[in-house]
Each structure stands twice: as C-alpha cells, then as structure tokens.
Copies of this chain bind each other. A is one copy, B any other.
Amino acid sequence: MSNLRQTRRSLPIALLRARETVMEPIREMLSTSGVNEQKWRVLRILEEQGPMELSHVARDACLLLSSLTRMVGPLQDEGLVTRSTPADDRRKSVLAITAAGVALIQAHSAISAGIFQQIEAEFGKDRLETLLDLLEDLRKIDLPRGEKG
C-alpha cells in the first residue's frame, strides 16, 4: 500500500561500485603480469599466509573450490605454486607459493603500493582505516545461512 519512493541505498551495489573503482587501476597493472585477478588473489594470500589447504585458499580468495581446483594446474605449469599432500591427512591438498610466484608479486609491488598510496592520499588515511575496519567487521557478522536441503 504505502509506496514510499525509497531510493534506499543498496549495500551490495555500493560495495560493488567501490570495488570497481579500486580495481580499475589494479586490473590495468595486472594486464602486464600474465595472471588475472583471481590468480593474483590466490598468490597474494599464499604469500601472506603461507602454505594452505585448497578449501581455505578458496574461502579467503572468495573462489569456489571447483574454480580453484581448475586453476591450480595452470598455476603449477606457470611455476607459481606447488601442491603437496600432508601425510597426516591425505585427503587434503596444500598449496604453496614458489619463489617465482613471490617474484611475480614483488615485481608489481611498487605499482601496487603506488596505487594504494594514491587511494590513501585521495581518500584520507584515517577514513581509509575506518573503512577497512568496518569492512572487516561486516565480514564477521552472523547472517542466517540458508542450509540448502
């Protein structure tokens, strides 16, 4: 009945648009790197957190496990990661970044840092900190997850 013309702000769209803004220069940087956005995320996560199980990498990189599985082969072929099976649980598969993978990230670290600094300069250091805090906290909220089935 009540038809309030609610141009209510949409959190999903706001997040998407902000991400597009930030990713534009990063995508440009990656266009000369030989890896795409998803592979870049995987490498960064492995570099920061060390060897990890596939499912944990998928969770942290926001990738489906099946998508991650599919890209591991190419990543190995490019010499950027290695995989191994821990003896204590042979269902698992542990991914680790190679020296070449680290080198790839470091080769772009200057540009990457420059982009981040520009964002910081344009946006303000404390506001950026606040934003990062809020985003991390948002990640932690407990929404009722739909159990399919």
- State whether A118 touches B130 (Cβ < 8 A): no
- State whether B48 touches A7 (Cβ < 8 A): yes
- State whether A134 touches B143 (Cβ < 8 A): no
A7 to chain B, nearest CB (A): 5
- State whether B21 touches A138 (Cβ < 8 A): yes
Q: How many copies does the complex hold?
A: 2
A131 to chain B, nearest CB (A): 5
- Please list the 3 inter-chain residue pairs (A to B) with the smallest Cβ-Cβ separation, ordered nearest first: A122-B141, A28-B146, A15-B19
Q: Does A35 touch B at the CB level, under 8 Å?
A: no
CB within 8 Å for A25 and B139 given contacts A10-B44, A19-B12, A41-B13: no
Closest Cβ neighbor of A41 among chain B residues: B13
Q: Does A14 touch B at the CB level, under 8 Å?
A: yes
Q: Does A128 touch B at the CB level, under 8 Å?
A: yes
A 92-149 contacts with B by CB, 8 A: 115-116, 118-119, 122-123, 127-128, 130-132, 134-139, 141-146, 148
Q: Does A65 touch B at the CB level, under 8 Å?
A: no
CB within 8 Å for A134 and B142 given contacts A11-B22, A15-B19, A41-B13: no
Taken together as a complex, chains A and B put the C-alpha atoms of A14 and B19 apart, in Å, by 9
Interface residues as binary, A36-55 with B (CB distance below 8 Å gives 1, 0 otherwise): 00000100100011000000
- State whether B135 touches A17 (Cβ < 8 A): yes
Closest Cβ neighbor of A124 among chain B residues: B137
Closest Cβ neighbor of A129 among chain B residues: B9
